[in-house]
Structure 1
Amino acid sequence: MNEVAEQKGRGRQLQSKVNTTSPSSSSSGSERQDNSSDSGTVLKRRRIEEDDCPIERIKQKAKDSNKHEEKKYKMTIRYTNKTIESNNNMANQIWNLILRQIMKGLELQLVGRNLYDPKNKVSLPQYGLELWPGYITSIRQHQENVLLCCEMSHKVMRTETILDIIRRYQKENSEHWQDNFKREIIGSIVLTNYNNKTYRVDDVDFKSKPCDTFKFKDREISYQDYYGMRYKLHIRDIKQPMLVSNPKARRVLSQEKIKFSDHHYFQTSSDCVDWTNAMRSKEMYQNINLTRWAIVYPKKFYDVTINFLNSLQNVAKGMNYSVGKPKHFDIYDDRPKSYIEKLMRINQDDPRLVAVIVPNNAADRYSAIKRVTCVDAAVPTQVIVARTLTKPKGLMTIATKVMIQINCKLGGAPWMIDFPISGVMAIGFDISHDPTNRSKSYGAFVATMDLKKNVKFFSSVSEHKKGEASGTIANHFIGALKAFKLEHKALPERIIFYRDGVDEGQNYSVIEDEVEHLKKMLKDIYDKFGNGKKPKFTFIVVTKKLNTRIFLNKNSKYENPEPGTVVDSVITLPNRFEFFLVSQSVRQGTVAPTNYNIIHHDVQDNDLTPDRLQILTYKYTHLYYNWSGTTRVPAVVQYAHKLADLAAKSLQRIPNLGLNDKLYYL
């Protein structure tokens, strides 16, 4: 698609008048003439009865603007025996369609989904902008009546064309001007005046020119000739590159191979993105053997505890995982105070992990256990409810899940997938509110340390205050960059920030505060420690709470779409660089997609195009180690959510910094 073109002539505007027939409120079938008329067109009303034949007498001749020949248009009205009540959704749709046609009759121009008035625009030439006034309208059934909502809206239009931007970058005389141009333009929305449509720029093809040809019907035609024939446009600069906008509405990403140890794989499919059964007979991808550990339990659960430890040993043999004998610590009752006293004694021995058997899910006891081990000390704990260990049939399944969690909390990884690029830090951030004090919140930050090279994470928590997110996130960011540089002797090549916990109305504050603050911070850090590298930064707002549902039309039957389904047009907003991703498979009900709104995206050397970013996002949904399957959001977002919940609902304080490199919150 060529964005920049010059209009040589104006196409003719088709004008036609068609007599309209509508049902009358009169009970008789007789035809009557209305007194109203429009330029000689008589409006008639008539009630259509069930026995009436289809009405086909309404005809109109007009000239086709392209072929300059007359055509006949015929309207056929049939009796459908269907009454639409005013509170029906279909009635709302009809009213809104009629209103939209009326608004177009006012010579308003459709931009995106709303209508604007270019004739009354306010020009700001000193800034290269125009301000178009417009309206956002909606007709809905309210409690008593059908009401029209009309809201004033303004659209800021950039008068600088894509060709102007290209020439500006060419004047820089930089060998990287094409990369700089791509970084600015990819992901932006452009408006083409010749057809009044908006397009998202997915790529820039510098190898293609307007003089290149493509197959049109049964012949080859150049883009230049096509625009002249179709839109009466003359393209002056035939050396300009072509913008690429992918018109696809849906595509399905390739399914991943799950990697275990010793080159063992499990191939997921569109029917199965769950590898729970495969885990039982495979050695985990990265094992950290369990040694120097302890187990605490009430005396009444001694037999249950012994059976569980035996099952844990059996599972460990099948997964080639080494489990040492734990130190046993029994307590006389299950009061929180009893657990606290015993755990404080155990912490003095600096164990690598403590397993704790509890009778039920009492929140006060769980909070007490986690505070002693995760705040006062830096000891990962595995809390197990005794009730789940009393069922012999499910004991091996429970032991398998506990084994996986223990390995993760020690720094191991049960599985992995192949990553196409190295040097990437993926970040998840979420906020959770303290249920006992709604004015208090905690923000959790989780980052990967280049999963192509090794499986390591960085986690941190801070108390979150409204309006101060940018500062707290920056502090987490600095800690993550230090950990990355310590691990790899260099800063990340690419940073992808998945931001959860953002309401719809907060998007602009996120752009202004967080993104700009983080960009400036990254520039300062890379200028000092990046060895000449520039940070490549992507900021994405993740939204899970959606009313949107996506269905696959398969043999005239609607089904849930396959995992890995991406939709990045049609239902997306024209002023956003966004996509929907279905990453899960559900057995009951409808699967819910997740929306990814890309607020900022640096592109250099074509390393991470929008399509590749979608693939990478889908890959990250396979790495949440609390579930052997895909999740709705990337793993780092799910980890951040889990950590924020732990801090806000159980700890109510900041965890020990000694746990920052472990997934202790699983």
Structure 2
Amino acid sequence: MLSLPSRPSRSSVSIINNISYNIQLHTNMFPLSVNDIQSSNSENSQAYDGNLVCYQYSVAFEPSIAEDNQSLMKKIIKQAQRSIEAIVGRYVFSGKSLFSFKNINVNKIQKIMNIEGNHVDGQTYSIQLKFNQNYQLNYESAQQKDDFCPNFKNGNKVIQVLNIMLKNILENEGFKQFGRNSNFFDKQSKKQVQIQNNPRQVIEVYNGFTSKVTLGKKLYMAIEYSSRIFRVETALQYLLSIAGQSVITKYNNYRAYIIDRVDFSKNPSSTFLYNKTNQQISYAQYYLQRYGVKISNMQQPLLLHKRKYREANTNIEKYEEIFLIPELCTITGLTVQQRLNKQAMKELANHTKLTPQQRYQNSIQNSLFLSDKIQNSGIKINLYDNKIDAIQLKLPKINLGGKSFITLKHGGNFEELSPFLNKQVFKNIEWALIYHNQDEQNVYKLVDLLQTVSHGFGDKFKEPQYLKTYNWNPRSWIELLDEEGFSKNNPPEFVITFCRAYKQYLYTEMKKFFCSKDGPGIISQNVTPKALQKKCKSVASKIVLQIASKLGYRIWSVEKPDGINKNTMLIGIETSMKKIKNQQIIGVVASINKDFTEYYSEVDIRNDNDTTLPTLSKAIHNAILAYIKKTNFAPEEIIIYRQGLGEGQIQQSYQLEIKAIQNGFSHHDKNYSPRFAFFQVNKKISQKFYQQTHGIISNPHSGTIVATEIVQNNFEFFMAAQNCNSGVCTPTKYTCLFNNTNLKEDQFWQITYYQTFNYYNWKGPIRVPAVMKYAEKLAKFTSDTLQEIANDNLINSLYYI
């Protein structure tokens, strides 16, 4: 089992004061305590100490019930409530576990208890309660290690029970949970927003909040505003674009599903083996019998959702196929067209987007509401102790065009126009531009702009080789490129495709041609005519930066913190949401020079249940070789940032990925063992931080670090790196899973923050270190567009940004 690394020591006070200063923040995290308010119910009064004790029972039903049929399980438990309370006292039920709070002498508990004769939906069920364990619901118990918990701490059990208690209370108050992320919504809050479109569309908006118990230096409750958007139309109207989207099914308590694909071989008349009767039944019959829903369109295909779970005994990842009826599914979120509609987004923002002041006040109001509702449960929220100590890091120096500066602009954004670190980037580069004859006039305008703007960077584009086509068929474009010898010797170093935004198929095919393993392996940049309509020079400037960075040139560099080894490598690892042939796509991007400005990029394609991860080992090995080729030295220290896969998957990440990374080291040399640190990075968190100035609540400044009260004793911290001018800033959580370096805690803060300035697509800080953002772009480009391993010519470039 994993023992999480302890927090490293910090540098001296004088050093820390030189790189940062102390601040205090407000947060949406409220300390809580748990006490047993029913001491008179104790059967073990001599041992009673005021703590609320949980007695956990596993629940089995006879006849058996499908695991996903939670609604039926709850009905049966509700029917047997009096009988259950007579045995175990007050309780809450979730999944296949029942949690009781009656203080009982464990030696008197019957190991197995049967409750017979429960009649639900024309069937008689018996319930079997089997006692498992008991533990106190307090901070001390949450800190105890438990080998059976995926998050390595008994806190998973303690926090699980507290969250179940909260969910039970809110459901009794009429709130509905949409999905599984502790988001609770008041159905009375539903608003219908008219999108002034052609045709006019209606969007449903629900408002609510998230309440989730978490573990820091004490138990905390995060209370955060939440909203959910639903389209009024059903999934039946979006069959061609539904894959990968989230849907809600209102008939079974607003459950959420991600659609993997549309199965056109099935329809509601298709049959399957129904476990309850062990007989074949049609989907139409099943939905009518179980939910009382009659399906109107019997010709519609079915939607497939693959529910991922881990086998209890082996921990092997498995999938269960769940088929859904499109006409019964409501799509969450917006269409691409709606997102591009500025007026539509503005209208929705009036109902969903809050200012930091409004959002903070919303958390305070909901904490008061919850405090009132849970006072009889033994949970107490401390409403007046939500201030925390934090650290504000100073901005790093940016090295651009031979000069070094600290940007004075708020949040660290910079607009300086200076030559690149690499001199004469474009002067001697041959390039080509392929376009449709309808866009000829715009093409010459683009070239003029690029030449003007590139001159400001200390260099100037040459005239391109113009390639004109006369239709929109990708095959014709590719044939023209073949005729010009692009697939043979001496092709140009980069190509601009001038392709209209709605010609997505053309964009995709051209990218595949340039980047595929069997293609020419040329850097390409797509430009749309729309990009030239407004702020032309600003857009052209960004195009120049993108092309230069794709070619592997050093645009700018960021100050390296004191104490960082000169032979340090940074690695970012990100997983794409979309799979290719049921294989995971993981982007691996590593810095390969001493100032973290050049990169090696490789894709790790991973099969399900692969426990050795050979492609990840190979990617790490190849990155080390690329570093040696560039610097003549092997990395002595490596810092790895891994996209967070959820708190419950830390064990898997540790057991598999860290081992695969170490194998990558040994592939280089069996005696090669660099010092390294491995961070799991979580961007989807409920914690929020606010600063208050002259009574006004606002977002924290870029460089805010929280590493005190709300973090656990192991090495983790929160960072708000980005400069957030609209909406509310969501910080990023860094949890260290492995560390054998000699770096101080503050040095990790600094290197992580400074590298958020090193992403060449944005002049300023982003949410995560640049290598992570590049890895995200690589994984997404591979899964969405390329759908295969890229050409070897491109591995030392950022061809995917």
TM-score by length of 1: 0.62
Quote the residue 1:60 is aligned against.
Answer: none
Does residue 621 of structure 2 align to residue 621 of structure 1? no
Q: Secondary structure at the match of 2:462?
A: coil
Does residue 678 of structure 2 align to residue 539 of structure 1? yes
- Mapping of residues 256-271 of structure 1, within 5 Å: 256-269=396-409, 271=410
Superposed displacement of residue 190, structure 1: 13
Superposed displacement of residue 298, structure 1: 0.6
Quote the residue 1:444 is aligned against.
Answer: 587
Whether the 8 Å contact between 1:296 and 1:356 is mirrored in structure 2 is yes
Aligned mates of 1:425, 1:510 — CA distance in 2: 20
Whether the 8 Å contact between 2:641 and 2:678 is mirrored in structure 1 is yes
Does residue 565 of structure 2 align to residue 428 of structure 1? no
Q: CA separation of 1:644/1:295 partners in 2, compared to 1, >3 Å: closer, same or farther?
A: same
Aligned mates of 1:472, 1:629 — CA distance in 2: 33
Q: CA separation of 1:342/1:462 partners in 2, compared to 1, >3 Å: closer, same or farther?
A: farther
Task: Return the letter of the residue paired with 1:377.
Answer: P
Superposed displacement of residue 415, structure 1: 1.4
Aligned mates of 1:418, 1:660 — CA distance in 2: 25
- Mapping of residues 251-650 of structure 1, within 5 Å: 251-269=391-409, 271-275=410-414, 277-279=415-417, 282-287=418-423, 288-289=425-426, 291-346=429-484, 347=486, 348=488, 349-375=490-516, 376-389=519-532, 391=533, 393-420=534-561, 421=564, 422-434=566-578, 439-452=582-595, 455-468=597-610, 470-500=613-643, 502-522=645-665, 525-528=668-671, 530=672, 534-574=673-713, 576-604=714-742, 608-650=743-785
Q: Secondary structure at the match of 1:498?
A: strand
Q: Secondary structure at the match of 2:613?
A: helix
C-alpha distance after superposition, 1:572-593 (max 9, x if no partner): 234x421110001111111110
Equivalent of residue 796 in structure 2, options 651, 661, 664: 661
Superposed displacement of residue 450, structure 1: 3.2
C-alpha distance after superposition, 1:148-184 (max 9, x if no partner): xxxxxxxxxxxxxxxxxxxxxxxxxxxxxxxxxxxxx
Whether the 8 Å contact between 1:117 and 1:134 is mirrored in structure 2 is no
C-alpha distance after superposition, 1:178-223 (max 9, x if no partner): xxxxxxxxxxx999xxxx99xxxxxxxxxxxxxxxxxxxxxxxxxx
List gaps (5 residues or longer) in structure 1: 1-19, 21-37, 40-98, 123-129, 148-188, 198-246
Aligned mates of 1:463, 1:133 — CA distance in 2: 31
Task: Return the letter of the residue paired with 1:581.
Answer: M
Task: Return the letter of the residue paired with 1:512.
Answer: Q
Superposed displacement of residue 278, structure 1: 1.6
Q: CA separation of 1:274/1:361 partners in 2, compared to 1, >3 Å: closer, same or farther?
A: farther
Whether the 8 Å contact between 1:116 and 1:135 is mirrored in structure 2 is no
Whether the 8 Å contact between 1:419 and 1:451 is mirrored in structure 2 is no
Aligned mates of 1:569, 1:639 — CA distance in 2: 30
Q: CA separation of 1:100/1:622 partners in 2, compared to 1, >3 Å: closer, same or farther?
A: farther
Superposed displacement of residue 131, structure 1: 10
Task: Return the letter of the residue paired with 1:510.
Answer: S
Superposed displacement of residue 479, structure 1: 0.4
Q: CA separation of 1:266/1:331 partners in 2, compared to 1, >3 Å: closer, same or farther?
A: farther
Whether the 8 Å contact between 1:579 and 1:596 is mirrored in structure 2 is yes
Whether the 8 Å contact between 2:616 and 2:664 is mirrored in structure 1 is no
Q: Secondary structure at the match of 1:249?
A: strand
Task: Return the letter of the residue paired with 2:401.
Answer: S
Does residue 172 of structure 2 align to residue 145 of structure 1? yes
Q: What percent of counterpart residues are identical?
A: 25
Superposed displacement of residue 135, structure 1: 4.8
Q: CA separation of 1:101/1:265 partners in 2, compared to 1, >3 Å: closer, same or farther?
A: farther
C-alpha distance after superposition, 1:404-428 (max 9, x if no partner): 1111112212211111331111001
Task: Return the letter of the residue paired with 2:698.
Answer: E
Q: CA separation of 1:113/1:145 partners in 2, compared to 1, >3 Å: closer, same or farther?
A: farther
Whether the 8 Å contact between 1:434 and 1:648 is mirrored in structure 2 is yes
Superposed displacement of residue 558, structure 1: 2.0
Aligned mates of 1:400, 1:133 — CA distance in 2: 50
Superposed displacement of residue 494, structure 1: 0.5
Aligned mates of 1:146, 1:377 — CA distance in 2: 63
Aligned mates of 2:454, 2:171 — CA distance in 1: 66
Q: CA separation of 1:460/1:326 partners in 2, compared to 1, >3 Å: closer, same or farther?
A: same
Structure 1 range deviating more: 259-268 or 561-570: 259-268
Aligned mates of 1:471, 1:283 — CA distance in 2: 41
Aligned mates of 1:622, 1:190 — CA distance in 2: 29
What RMSD, in angstroms, separates the aligned Cα atoms of the two structures? 3.7
Aligned mates of 2:667, 2:656 — CA distance in 1: 17
Task: Return the letter of the residue paired with 2:760.
Answer: Y
Superposed displacement of residue 488, structure 1: 1.9
Superposed displacement of residue 542, structure 1: 0.9
C-alpha distance after superposition, 1:57-86 (max 9, x if no partner): xxxxxxxxxxxxxxxxxxxxxxxxxxxxxx
Task: Return the letter of the residue paired with 1:488.
Answer: T
C-alpha distance after superposition, 1:121-161 (max 9, x if no partner): 99xxxxxxx999985532225375379xxxxxxxxxxxxxx
Superposed displacement of residue 484, structure 1: 1.1
Whether the 8 Å contact between 2:642 and 2:678 is mirrored in structure 1 is yes
Count the aligned residue pairs.
452
List gaps (5 residues or longer) in structure 2: 1-36, 38-44, 47-98, 107-133, 148-152, 175-214, 220-386
Q: Secondary structure at the match of 2:479?
A: helix
Superposed displacement of residue 526, structure 1: 4.8
